[in-house]
Chain A
Amino acid sequence: MSPLVFTLLAFGISFVAGLFGSLVGVGGGIIVVPALTLIFGVPIHFAIGASIVSVIATSNGAAASYVKRGIANLRVAMLLEVATASGAIVGALLAGRAQPRVLFVLFGLTLLYVVWSMLRKRTAAQLEIPPDRIADRLRLHGSYFDDSEQKQIHYRVARTPFGFAVSGIAGLLSGLLGIGGGAIKVPAMHLAMGMPLKVCTATSNFMIGVTAAASAMVYFMRGDVSPFIAAPVASGVLLGAMAGSQLMTRLRNNWIKTLFLIVLFFTSGQMLWKGLRP
């Protein structure tokens, strides 16, 4: 394979990853890292370095529109960013010392979790909202205008310490594996903290840019961000995600989601095999 063919293929795959990722609500990193390592044999540290840059790009692009529509809860975002950014730095430092095999296994397990959480998403019920002194003190409760219900929805935020802890774990995995970590944060924010799902998604996407920037700097300064690999990957994921957000409203995405789950399931198996085979 020539460098030019690699660049075009990496761009194409990243574009598809960004497109499908935005259609089903996950970041592109979850597809890009396995594709680069399994298909092209890119060392996993460089694949993660390229992915984490693309994660910043998509978050920056998405955050702008969410903030504009006033859905994201900025106060919750800024508070939880303390946890995600700390976790991301630790994760990025750990990744620098981790054996590739360990990263493959962790990635495979994370993919399995994402598949499971996507299957479960619609059925889980929110926990009741107990009083939360921290949320009161920091005035985290919020409201947003819901387009489908055509009214202002007020909500209370609860279990802030739990959300903070989960955000730290999400940041850790983000820094370790070069993914956004939304699949871990969003269920915690929705089910435990009591925020409406739309608010959780918007807030999580908003936070991901800051989280990924923290670990991206570690990867960059360590020499794990390759200009040759990161350029087609970041531009591909970004353009794919932009195209996806244009398509979003026009597609019924049930079959896409099913196809995506199957692909992720097999990918997780391959990542695990790559880490565990003798």
Chain B
Amino acid sequence: MSEPTLPNPNEAPDDAVVHRVEQIIGNLLRCGVLTSLALLVAGTLVSFFHSHRYGSTSDDLSVLIAKGGDFERSFAWLFGGLRDFRGQALIVLGLVFLIATPLLRVAVSVVAYIIERDLIFVLITSLVLVLLVVSFLIGGHG
């Protein structure tokens, strides 16, 4: 029994819509990453010198490290912090950007496969999207 070494051309779909969409997303991702980067750096500087006054002793450092991510994780906290130009709110916005970009990419893939009428992959990508949303929901309770 011999196996073909090359796939039949119609076995390897070119997924034209998906690829085109992915290229657009690729550029968006790069912009998103640079935006988050800027937010992380700016937020750290603002925290040090304006809003949080991280302090300068090793005791200050111990407190900061031990605190971890222990702040109120809500949109109210985020928007309130941004309005008051608080550094940690800028950092958290950068982190939220970073975490949300893969979610956006998967959501767009779902749409691309719908356009290509590829039912199985609509289901697969939707499942990934559901998993990401679930992780968000259970994270708060885990």
- Chain A residues proximal to chain B, CB less than 8 Å: 1-4, 6-7, 40-43, 45-46, 49, 53, 56-57, 59-61, 63-65, 67-68, 70, 74-75, 78-79, 81-82, 85-86, 88-89, 92-93, 96, 129-131, 136-139, 141-143, 154-156, 209-210, 212-232, 234-235, 238-239
Contact = CB atoms under 8 A, between A and B. Distances in A.
A141 B7 contact: yes
B43 A46 contact: no
A210 B61 contact: no
A85 B131 CA distance: 7
A81 B124 CA distance: 9
Contacts of B30: 60-61, 64
Interface in B38-77: 40-41, 43-44, 47-48, 54-58, 60-61, 64-71, 73
Nearest to B89: A227
Q: Which 7 A-B pairs have the closest CB atoms?
A: A221-B139, A64-B26, A218-B139, A213-B102, A227-B91, A3-B54, A141-B7
The B contact surface, by secondary structure, is helix
Interface of B: 3, 6-7, 11-13, 15, 18-19, 22-23, 25-27, 29-30, 32-33, 36-37, 40-41, 43-44, 47-48, 54-58, 60-61, 64-71, 73, 88, 91-92, 94-95, 98-103, 105-106, 109, 120-121, 124-125, 127-128, 131-132, 134-136, 138-140, 142
A24 B67 CA distance: 34
A7 to B, nearest CB: 6
Contacts, number: 232
Q: Which of A49, A155, A213, A226 has the most CB of B within 10 A?
A: A213
B63 to A, nearest CB: 9
